[in-house]
Structure 1
Amino acid sequence: TYERLALIDDALACYSKALAMHEKLNNKQTNDYHRLSAIYIGIAGIHSIKQDKDQSLKYLYEALNTELNTEQPSREILLNCYNDIGFLFFAKEKYDESLTNYEKALDISTQIYPATHPNIGIIHLNIGNIYQAQNQYKDALENFKK
């Protein structure tokens, strides 16, 4: 509906203001890169809602690169980025890129969560969906079982 679209545009405007404010403050040496990554992820989420996958990917890569260039990257933020990038590439039917990102997300998930954590199962489900879309049913089933 139009109301929802207006709210989405308002949210994007708020994130844009947050980004501008962060850039202004960063000139004063705040160095809060995790917050900057979170802003980029928020902007990516808005673009994803608007079905603009390319813009969403752009901001997810901004978040990912920001995080990777910090002294102590947040594994949770990296996990979020890789997972969301994998999802968007799957939606674009770019299965190799999707799989690469889901595998990175899985690697991080197994480092920070117990083996029975639901996030690990969801990533295996997503990897299984990739294999299924490529008619690789044996690999799909292996992941679905995990």
Structure 2
Amino acid sequence: MIKQFGFSEDEYARVRGWLLSALEIAPGPFDEAELLVKLRAEAWHLITTDHAASVVELVRIDGELIGNVLLIGGEKGKALREIIAAQKQFCEFLKHEGFTKLVGTPRKEFHNILKAQGFEEEQKELVKRLQL
């Protein structure tokens, strides 16, 4: 389950290797320097479990509240179950706060796993609609 929601220097140091590895595997439109600036400014949010970490942006688009997963990384062989459990917990939190979707652009090898968790493919993104 979720260990920490929000940025701290200590927690970032603990999960840094996983996040940097994820950035290497699937480079995003940002690097570590921008990642840290956004996390420290609380524009993006760090969510961690014992063996995984993700970075999420909470945005309003056309009046709709959306959770946008920017990055996920974790310890090989230990992270996937935690990521799925944390995703369920995070979706419940988002629903409670009035969010309507969780979106992201995962690596292809995770599409089937996420589709089994209720995500649907829309263009290049996977979308999970959050219903009360």
With the shorter chain as reference, the TM-score category is: 0.3 to 0.5
Which protein has the larger Cα radius of gyration, Structure 1 or Structure 2? 1
TM-score normalized with structure 2 length: 0.34
TM-score normalized with structure 1 length: 0.31
* Greater RCO (Cα-Cα under 8 Å, separation 6 or more): 2
Report which of the two has the higher share of helix: 1
Report which of the two has the higher share of strand: 2
